[in-house]
Structures are given as C-alpha cells and as structure tokens.
Structure 1
Amino acid sequence: MDATSRPLRVPPEMGIYAEKHELFQLMQNMLEGLLIHKPDEPIRYMISHLKQDNDHVPRVCILGPPAAGKTTIAMWLCKQFNTPRISQETLLEETLELTEEAKTFQEKGQKIPNALWASLIQERLSNMDCIKQGWILEGFPENQDQAWMLHSAGITPRHVVVLYAPDMVLIERNLGKRIDPSTKEVYHTTFDWPSDPLVQQRLVEAEGISEQETSKHLLEYHRNFPRVFQIYQQILKSFNADQPCADVLSQVLTYVQTRCRSAAPFTPRILFCGPPGSGKSLQAALIAQKYSIVNICCGQLLKEAVADKTKLGELIKPYFDSGWPVPDNIVLKLLADRLNRLDCMTDGWVLHGFPRDLDQAQQMERAGIIPNRVFFLNLPSESVMERLAQRMVDPVTGERYHSMYKPAPFPEVQAHLRQNPKDTQDNIRMCLENYYRHGGDLEEFYEDAFYINADQDPYIVFEHIESCIIKPLPYKS
C-alpha cells in the first residue's frame, strides 16, 4: 500500500484476509470482554482470550413455559454440538461450592434465591468444558432479576430460544410426562413412549405435573416472561412447540447456527451462476442499483475492451471475429484489472458470466478474486426455452420484447422484430448442456453458495437474494 498517495489503495488481499479470519469481529469480542470484566492486566486478558479460541462456541438460553419441550430440545442441541447442558437439576447434581447451600433451601421447601442461582451458573460456566465447548442454559433466566444478574456477571447468550404453545396443550403434555432416571431423557405416555421394555419399566412420573401445579407455574411464567423478553429481544426468537419435535429441533438448530449481525465493514463481492435465461443480468442490475455496487458482466467487459481498442481488446478482437471463445488467461487478466479498480474495492461488485467451469473458478481464486456471496439461480429447462426462444429485439430502438410476457405494443413494431441468432432452440439446448456439464463441479467448489428458485416473479427472487446478502453466513455444524 502506498502511504504517500490519496486516496489510499488498500490491496484487495488485505480485505479478503481480514474477512476470512474475522479480524474485526475478533477485536470487537476482545473489546467487549475488556469492558465487561475490567481486568487489571488487559494485555494478559487478551492473550488468554486468544488462547481460548472460543468465540464461535454456542452460548444458548432455552426458555419457555412448563412442558414446552425445553429439556428435549436442550439435550438434542447438546448432542449436536457436544456442549454441556446447564439446568436446575444438573446444577444441583454438580459438586460446586454453592451446591450444598442451594440444596439446603430445597430441603426446607424454600425457594432458592435468584442471587444464589446466578452464582451457581457463573461458577459452572467458568469450568473449562463450558469455556472450550460453550453451553446450553435450559430454563434460565426465569425472571428479570436473574437476567440482570447474569448480564452483570458477563454471562451473555448469543441466541435465546423461546418455545411456546397453548396452555391447554402444555397442561395435557405435563400430565403424561415421564422421566428416565438413568439418562434423564423425557418421554410421554401418549406422544413419545419408548419402544424398549427395559426403559418403560424404569420410567418415573415427573414431580409437580398435576394440573393445579402446572397452571400455577404457567401463571408465574406469563407474569415474568415479558420483562425477560425486553432484555433479550435483539437475540431472541420464538418457536411454536405445538408440532413434532423433529420440526422444532430443525428450526431451532437453523437459528442457533446463524451468526449475530456483525458491525464489521462489509464489501459485497457477489457472484451469480445459473443457466442462460435464469435472470442473472436482471438480478445483478437490481442489486447494483440498490446498493450502489459495480455491476460487471464478463461478456460486456470483453465487448467494451474491443470497442475501446485497448491492448487486451486488440488480443480479443480476432476471437470475436472468428467466433471462437476468448482464452481464459486473457479473460481473467481483463477481469482482475477491472475488479482491482478503486470503485470495486471500495463499493463492492456483482459479477455474472464468469466462471463457467471449475478450472475458471480455480483460476479466479488463485488470482485473488474470491466472492463472499455466491448464488446459483435454478431454472427448469422448459422455462429456459420459454424465456429465451420467444424473445425478440426491435432493431430500430434496441427494445426487447417477448411474445408471452411483453408483446410488442403495435402491429408495425411486431412486423420488424428480429430474433437474436443465439436464441434459436438448438443454440439454447447446446448452452444448457454446456452449463449442466460443469454446473455440478461449480456447486461443489462454492460450498457456501445459496440456491434460489428463479422460476418465479423476479422481485421475489430479488428479495430472497437480498436477505442472503445482508445476513451473516451461518456457522457450519
């Protein structure tokens, strides 16, 4: 980087490296930790933070009324992430300093104070397994006081899952709840009865599941939850628990694997792939217009180089004249030169028309052209043929028409419409075969790509694409 010239030209490799290793997020996490814990030796704290390497471990609270399925979902998530589960039962079974004090309250039939629960949780989460593997906190916090105590102790979840269902459904569920004392698995006499006879024999009835006690707990939950919601509303998501457990788990798992919105600077580098006629040009234009990023069509870039009579354009012209494809090394050189200009580096870019096969994608990566969002626009062959074979061009105005979607407004315009030679059915079939021959390899290469159904209204497609751009990429399980 030349520090003597303005504006400063930051090499694109620097931004790609910082984004790949999430340097901005790393610095933000360390700063948050410093402000929360206020260590006497900040440098040593930051070194310890880096050694722990646990910024991506799950930290999840699962809340909800009695019988909403908190234990079931928590146990499934723990198996998925190999993460400790923290609940009232597990805390009272641990050999912690404050466990005996909490048991004393329980034996006397007294309610364990919020401050004691918060201290127990803080002590448990300071153990090495929770630091390295993360934690699933089940049923905490129950009220606003517990939430503030956890918050003041620096215990901040990344995701808060709230399960809900009608009260009558919850009461019915609770009445049939049974517990396996060996595994702590939860079963139900109607909805989830174990097939193993040995498990059936050792099941015991859960405590406090009568209709009267359940109604009392539900009333207390409904009284306390709105205040808890206010504290965690930015990271909280509710899920309907009145559906099969597998469906609830799938939805919760998807949410827990998503990243929270980062304050890191984000320069869009977007790539559209898909068969001809799938709408790559239109979607690129819409994205570029809304977010003021550079729209780059590889084919158009080649035509401009020839028209401007640049050095590369002189090399490209013979291939255009003969109808042969331009060699990859020339295309890549032209593309790299355009993407390394200041507007692309500062505003971002959206690219379509290249790469078309695995070799071109690998060459792009070696050249440092690495998109951070890749979209495959999927469209059935029948729809491709319908879109392309019936479109015509007015040679006078250059306006495009389509016999089905956008017919010519006047008979005299209709009379002199012409079809592009590339839009013949034979040529479309050949392009489709070429795309599908290499499409699978490209999909494997861009493993974090998004797949969009392009056979619908283009503005619905745009909204889906936009949502994938502005949201962080999910964590890989």
Structure 2
Amino acid sequence: MDATTRPHRIPPVMGVYAEKHKVFQLMQNMAEALLIFRPEDPIDFMIEHLKKDNDEVPAVFVLGPPAAGKTTISRWLCKHLSATYLNPQQLLKNKLLHRSREALQQQERQGSVSDELWAALLEDRLADVDCVKLGWVLDGFPETRAQARLLQALGVAPRHVVVLDAPEMVLVERNLGKRLDPVTQEVYHTTFDWPIDFTVQKRLIKPEGTSAQDTAKRLLESHRNIPDLLRTYPDNHKIISADQPCADVFAQALSFVQSRFRSEAPFSPRVLLLGPPGSGKSLQAALLAQKYGLVPVSFVDLLREEVAGRTALGELIKPSFESGYPVGDSVALRVLGNRLAQPDCIACGWVMHGFPRDVDQADLLRRAGLEPNRVFFLHLPTEVAAQRLCQRATDPVSGDRYHTIFKPPANEEIHLRLRRNPRDAPPRVEKKTEVYDRQVCDLEDFYEEALFVNADQDPYTVFEYLESCLVTPLPVTKPGIRSLAGSSSRQ
C-alpha cells in the first residue's frame, strides 16, 4: 500500500480480518518486545513470542497510598480476570525464587530490601508459567520512580496502571481500623467490613504499620512518590477516587483494565446502529457522519431513492412500498451492496441503520462481505419510544419539526397548523416496536462483540459513548461478557 496515495481504497474484508485477528497490534507488540530485549536471533525470539500467545493477558499495577484499597481491588481484579495476584511480601516468602533467601537476609540485616533485588525478584516471578499465560496484577509496587525505572530496564512494563486516591482523613480512619486474617490473608475493617464468622473474628490481628504515627509517615512518603510514578507511566494510568463504595471503585478499575488504548493502525469505521423506533439511530448516524466524515447509510432512504429514480431495482421495490410489506432480502442486499461498494464508503467508512432486521438478514450481510466492525444496540423503554415519536409534528408552512413536550411551538397559530406523520400514529409505532422486540435477542446473540447503550439519556451523552468506542479498539472481555455503556442495561 503506497502511503502517499489518498484515499486508501482498502477492501473492507482486509480491515475486518486485520481487526478480528489483531494483526496490527500483534506486529506492534513484537516490535516493542524486540526493542526492549534486543535478542541476538530476532526470528527465534518472535517465534517464541507468538507461542506464548499472551499479548492480551492482564499486566496491571495497582498503586496508591496506604488504606486506599489496593489489596481488595487487586484481588477482585484477579478473581474476575483469572489473573495471578502478586505483592512484595509474596515475593519474599516464595522459596521457589532463587533470590528470595538473599532478600530475606538483607531485610533482616538492613531492615529493607534494595530496589535492585526487588526488581530481580519480580522479574523471576513474572517468568513463571501462571504469570505468562494468565497475566498478573501487582499490588502496591513499585513505590518510587527509581523502582519503576529499574522495572522498565528489565522489560517489566504494565499495560494498565490503576492509581487509587482518597482524602487523608479517610485514609487514616481506614488504616487505624484495618485487621488481617493470618490464615487467608484477607483484610477486614472494624467499622466498614467486619466478618460475620465468629471464628474469623477471633483470629484477626492488627497488621504492622497501622498505628497513627506509622500511617502518617507512610502517607507522607506516598504523597512524595506518587507524582513521580505517574510521570513514569504518563499514557497508561488512571486515577480513581477510593472515597466511594468499593463496588464502584472496582467497576471503574475493571472497565479501565479491560480497555485498549487507541491504535495507529489504519481503520475505516463500518458502524451499525440497531435499536427500536425512536431510539435516535438517525441522529447518532448524522452526528458520527458529521464529525468523522463517515457516509450515513439509511436503508429506508436507499429504498426510496431507488423508487424515486425509477431504476430496475426501484420497480421491484415499489410494490412492497405500496402494499406495506417488507422488501425481499435479495433485493435489499443488492441495494445495500451497490451503495456500500461505492468509493466513498470504502475509503471513508460508513454508519448504517435500518438493516438488518433479523438474523437471516445479518447472516446475508456477513456472507456478502459487508460485515460491520462496530455494532451498537441502542436500548430504549417502549413507553419512552412512544412518547418521542407519537408527540412529534411538522409545520407544513416552515417545515420546522416540533414536539409537544420537548420542543413545543412558540404560538397558538403554529400549534393549530401542525401535522403529524401517519407513521407516528400510536398503533403503527407499537407494531414496529413489537417486531423489533421479537428479533432483538437473536440479533444480540449473532453480534457477539456488540456494545449496548442506554438511549434514554441526552443524545450528546449517547454520542460521546459511541465516539469513544469508535476511536479505540474494542475492550478486552472474558467470553460471554458483554461490554456496556456506563449507564446502560439490557432491557
């Protein structure tokens, strides 16, 4: 492909294949590994890299001041992602690491372990098969920029850095009430998280370093070190407020860890918007087209253009329009295929709505090589859809559109001459909504990597979420788990 020629007319099937199999990301990961480790035999190194097949496993640092909840969030992330939990104390006690005895002896003699030895211990641990295959979450390390730089020099680089933060008074209160179960290593709190089991209550102990004096000293050190740590990881960290319910902190951390950063790989968006009548598909398509130069493709409008142009396909479509029956799938696919094969759609990408209506049409679209690479389901309650559609009207004089609730006319004269489209009559809206509801579950199963959006909110809030998913790769999720917008839910 000649980089000096614009626009690039890349066949859509190439882009679909490249994104599905992460071709560009794979090439980038191998190039990064080559530059970091500088092997003598790059070919053998890349072969071994491909055999590991671990480019998508978690590699996470969870950092923050004392009592910010690092251990809890780290363990929850490990449980959800099936990753390996790591912390400095585990490294010291791991007798399988050949330098753990040296580290323990150094700690006994000097009261601390050198940064170089910490880095060496972690490097050895990350080479174990569980960390390589499942990924890892490191709790509370590194603590300083010097430690972070040592890890970078050894090729230990996290994909995501979660930084927890909270006001000092909150952290002090949490740390003073912290209790540790010496058997399970679970952390509890005398106020916020006291165990129900009486046996567990009896064996809880107060961890070292949780006195008021120790807490103040550790908080001071943390506040000094965190800014430098953030400069070490400028592009892949996220600061999350820990002064909120633990479930909310975890949800934000999980969403960040599953996200993938924006790629420089060539990408032509092919967006499919699905949703019930009134969910805002036309508006969102127009907004995406306006900002990103995509071609808006309305299936219904394409059919009308064919009929109005009196083309051969238009003559086949006209009887369906007159009778009210759906256009045949083969004719519909020919109309769409002709439009999506145009140079503007191939070069700039497209955003489509109105098709497919069922799984059979979706399968035809896929077999024709017209598969979208972003699919969004706009969810909207039936009563809200009816309110949006049945209350809108048009001024036949000015052509302006009004809504009796959201955009009422300015005076009575305009109100009296408003006309409603017969398509917005309540019975017709209910019928179209029922048809969509019968098909939507099968469509959701067909498009496994679809994203779900709550359309019952401000249109520009919906657009911001669609936009964020358009400019970044799809999030990494476990099989069977869908990606949801922050305030969306499946109806």
SS in 1 for 2:393: strand
Residue 373 of structure 1 deviates from its aligned partner by 1.9
Residue 466 of structure 1 deviates from its aligned partner by 2.0
Q: Distance in 2 between the 1:283 and 1:6 partners? A: 27
Partner AA of 2:384 in structure 1: S
Q: Residues 122-161 of structure 1: CA distance to partner in whole angstroms, max 9, x if unpaired?
A: 1211222211111111111111111111111111101111
Deviates more, 1:304-313 or 1:291-300: 304-313
Residue 415 of structure 1 deviates from its aligned partner by 6.1
Q: Residues 288-331 of structure 1: CA distance to partner in whole angstroms, max 9, x if unpaired?
A: 11111100000111111223333322322332344332101110
Q: Distance in 2 between the 1:251 and 1:188 partners? A: 22
SS in 1 for 2:155: coil
Structure 1 stretches of 5 or more lacking a match?
none
SS in 2 for 1:344: helix
Deviates more, 1:414-423 or 1:219-228: 414-423
Q: Distance in 1 between the 2:73 and 2:460 partners? A: 37
1:270 aligns with: 271
Q: Residues 245-299 of structure 1: CA distance to partner in whole angstroms, max 9, x if unpaired?
A: 3332222222211122222222111111222222211221111111111000001
Q: Is the 8 A contact 1:288 1:350 kept in 2?
A: yes
Partner AA of 1:30 in structure 2: M
Partner AA of 1:196 in structure 2: D
Q: Distance in 2 between the 1:245 and 1:393 partners? A: 50
Q: Distance in 2 between the 1:432 and 1:7 partners? A: 40
2:294 aligns with: 293
Q: Is the 8 A contact 2:10 2:347 kept in 1?
A: no
Distance 1:36-1:401 versus aligned 2 partners, 3 A rule: same
SS in 1 for 2:141: coil
1:20 aligns with: 20
Q: Distance in 2 between the 1:146 and 1:6 partners? A: 46
Deviates more, 1:337-346 or 1:402-411: 402-411
1:32 aligns with: 32
Q: Residues 360-384 of structure 1: CA distance to partner in whole angstroms, max 9, x if unpaired?
A: 2222222222222222223333333
Q: Is the 8 A contact 1:12 1:340 kept in 2?
A: no
Distance 1:330-1:8 versus aligned 2 partners, 3 A rule: same
SS in 2 for 1:61: strand
Residue 8 of structure 1 deviates from its aligned partner by 7.2
2:471 aligns with: 470
Partner AA of 2:367 in structure 1: R
Structure 2 stretches of 5 or more lacking a match?
479-491
Partner AA of 1:115 in structure 2: E
2:77 aligns with: 77
TM-score, scaled to structure 2: 0.89
1:56 aligns with: 56
TM-score, scaled to structure 1: 0.92
Matched, 1:88 2:88: yes
Partner AA of 2:476 in structure 1: Y
Identical positions, percent: 56
SS in 2 for 1:264: coil
Q: Is the 8 A contact 1:66 1:214 kept in 2?
A: yes
SS in 2 for 1:149: helix
Q: Distance in 2 between the 1:197 and 1:69 partners? A: 24
2:481 aligns with: none
1:370 aligns with: 371
1:98 aligns with: 99
Q: How many residues align?
A: 474
Q: Say what the alpha-carbon RMSD is for the aligned residues.
A: 2.4
Q: For 1:355-394, what aligned pairs fall within 5 Å after superposition?
A: 355-394=356-395
Deviates more, 1:385-394 or 1:11-20: 385-394
Q: Residues 98-128 of structure 1: CA distance to partner in whole angstroms, max 9, x if unpaired?
A: 2122112211243211111111111211222
Q: Distance in 2 between the 1:240 and 1:368 partners? A: 45
Q: Is the 8 A contact 1:86 1:138 kept in 2?
A: yes
Distance 1:266-1:103 versus aligned 2 partners, 3 A rule: same
Q: Residues 397-452 of structure 1: CA distance to partner in whole angstroms, max 9, x if unpaired?
A: 65544444445667776666543232222222222222222223223333433333
